[in-house]
Structure 1
Amino acid sequence: MKKYIAFSLAVIGLFALSCSNDGDSGSNQPNIIIKPRTAIADAAFEQALVDLGIDDVVDGSVLTENAEMVTSLVMDNKGITSLQGISDFTMLENLSANNNQISSLDLSANTALKFVFVNNNDLTSINVTGLAILEKLSIPGNNVTLLNISGNTALQLLDIKDNTLGAIDLSNIPNSLQLNTFAVENNPLTCIRVNSEILNDIPSQWTKDPEDNYALTCN
């Protein structure tokens, strides 16, 4: 009887040791780290990122850490219809996406932007609020109906010709010496609001339609 009990205890001990070893081997398995990814809805946009070496395959997303390191995106003539996901490019300073088919663009999260060129797209709206260091904004050849640049006080170039703007307010631009280039022709507006300093010193290189007027207030 004693031999039977001893044998049983030995078997139980071996089983317990085996389970313990199994647990130890599991704990030594490497941890799988899942890195955050940014959704890129437009395949043409993502292909442009692949071409630039920012992404490696068109699969609907890009590593967020890669997006956060980008300072310049030049994606002209790429057939892009949407820049959804651009908000995660938080260090972006230069954006050029001319001659695409982008219909709306929200850049309010890209506060490092200095240069934005989205000429000849299908834009009906663009949000550049909060871009305090934006120096150049070029959007000719679109269908933008409303543009708020009240917070873009560092602007040096503003090209908004060939749109459908009913009004534009430059009154928050400090002076006309800073805004060296301004083009607003071929828009259905007749009044361009400015401040008194600009009104007294309209640069000769600024361009507008003959019927447009600069004024301190616009109806």
Structure 2
Amino acid sequence: MKKLAGFIGMMTVLLLWSTCAGDPAVATSRSANMIVVEVPKNGELQVYIKTADNRAVTIRGSETEILSAADEGGELDAKVMQRVKARGTKLLFTGAIVEFDITDNGTVNALDVSACPKLEVLRCSGNQIKSLDLITNNVLRELYCGNNQISALNLKAQKNLAVLHCEGNLLRTLNLTAAKKLTELQCSENAIQTAEMDALLKTLPMRSSESSAEARIHESNPTENNQMPSADAIQEAEMKRWKIHVGSDQQINEN
């Protein structure tokens, strides 16, 4: 009886292994980084992807005629911007992704990069994203997430972050304590009040005399809901070698 139970148990394990190995989604999620993008049903997405190994990225959930691939997915070129049409509402990209750009698609309502810990540059500005989970993305160097609907941004894991553009969102606070390498900040057109703006400026890292740092925190237009910081907070930031931009002075350029 014990031998029979053991045999049944072994067969069950083998069956489960075979099922998982034959499922592209399961196999892919274990072996490669994954990014999930949610779009309107049958919507299109323009995307640029760069990989660490210069290999193509596998995509799931796309229309086959766009990628000339099998029903379960195809290969997306990792060098050029491509337009992808979804079969449903989710597109799954897997590979050694280090840069991901879906700027100004306008229709992306959710983005999950939590299973892509090697991501270094993320550009997702100009969409309808409400939240970003970046807790696993501790090698992220550049984040462009402006003009979305993000109400909170947890950057506790972003110790390597050098560039942050999060303007045009719904942020009320922004803590940059962990971002010791930050040199460029754009956070205007949010909803940060004076006390929270003062606290934000206090978290800006000290810069050396050899490295420049700039922050745009306020615009002179009707869509600006940030309040101005106190003069003392600006002075303290400038003592840490930060140039603070407010109003109509020179813009910080986005590459």
Which category describes the TM-score, using the shorter chain as reference length? Answer: 0.5 to 0.7
Q: 1:182 is matched with which residue: 215, 219, 225?
A: 215
Name the aligned partner's letter for residue 227 of structure 2. Answer: P
Aligned to 1:207: 245
Structure 1 gap ranges (5+): 1-26, 211-219
Structure 2 gap ranges (5+): 1-13, 50-56, 63-87, 219-223, 249-255
**Cα distance change, pair 44–127 in 1 and its aligned pair in 2 (3 A):** farther
Decide whether the 8 Å contact of 2:47 with 2:100 is kept in 1: no
- Report the aligned-residue RMSD: 3.4
Count of matched residue positions in the alignment of Structure 1 and Structure 2? 176
Alpha-carbon distance, 1:146 to partner:
1.3
Alpha-carbon distance, 1:51 to partner:
7.5
Q: 2:167 is matched with which residue: 140, 162, 187?
A: 140
Q: Distance in 1 between matches of 2:119 and 2:131?
A: 18
1:96 aligned onto 2:103: no
Q: 1:43 is matched with which residue: 33, 39, 54?
A: 39
Greater relative contact order, per chain length (Cα 8 Å cut-off, separation 6+): 2
Decide whether the 8 Å contact of 2:201 with 2:233 is kept in 1: yes
Decide whether the 8 Å contact of 1:86 with 1:107 is kept in 2: yes
Q: Distance in 2 between matches of 1:155 and 1:128?
A: 12
Q: Whose Rg is larger?
A: 1
Moved runs in structure 1, 4+ residues, more than 6 A? Answer: none
Name the aligned partner's letter for residue 174 of structure 1. Answer: M
Decide whether the 8 Å contact of 1:115 with 1:135 is kept in 2: yes
Decide whether the 8 Å contact of 1:115 with 1:136 is kept in 2: yes
Q: Distance in 2 between matches of 1:36 and 1:54?
A: 9
Q: 2:133 is matched with which residue: 90, 97, 106?
A: 106
Q: Distance in 1 between matches of 2:227 and 2:102?
A: 30
**Normalising by the residue count of structure 2, what TM-score does the alignment of the two structures yield?**
0.57
Decide whether the 8 Å contact of 2:125 with 2:148 is kept in 1: yes
**Cα distance change, pair 127–73 in 1 and its aligned pair in 2 (3 A):** same
Which aligned pairs between 1:28-177 and structure 2 lie closer than 5 A?
A: 31-32=18-19, 33=21, 34=23, 35=27, 37=29, 40=36, 42-43=38-39, 48=45, 53-58=57-62, 60=90, 62=92, 66-67=94-95, 69-78=96-105, 79-83=107-111, 85-166=112-193, 167-168=196-197, 169-172=200-203, 173-175=205-207, 177=209
Alpha-carbon distance, 1:141 to partner:
1.5
Q: Percentage identity across aligned positions?
A: 17
Q: Could you say which structure has the higher strand fraction?
A: 2
Name the aligned partner's letter for residue 208 of structure 1. Answer: V
Alpha-carbon distance, 1:74 to partner:
0.6
Alpha-carbon distance, 1:120 to partner:
1.4
Q: Distance in 2 between matches of 1:41 and 1:72?
A: 14
Decide whether the 8 Å contact of 2:38 with 2:91 is kept in 1: no
Alpha-carbon distance, 1:98 to partner:
1.4
Q: Distance in 2 between matches of 1:50 and 1:181?
A: 29
**Normalising by the residue count of structure 1, what TM-score does the alignment of the two structures yield?**
0.66
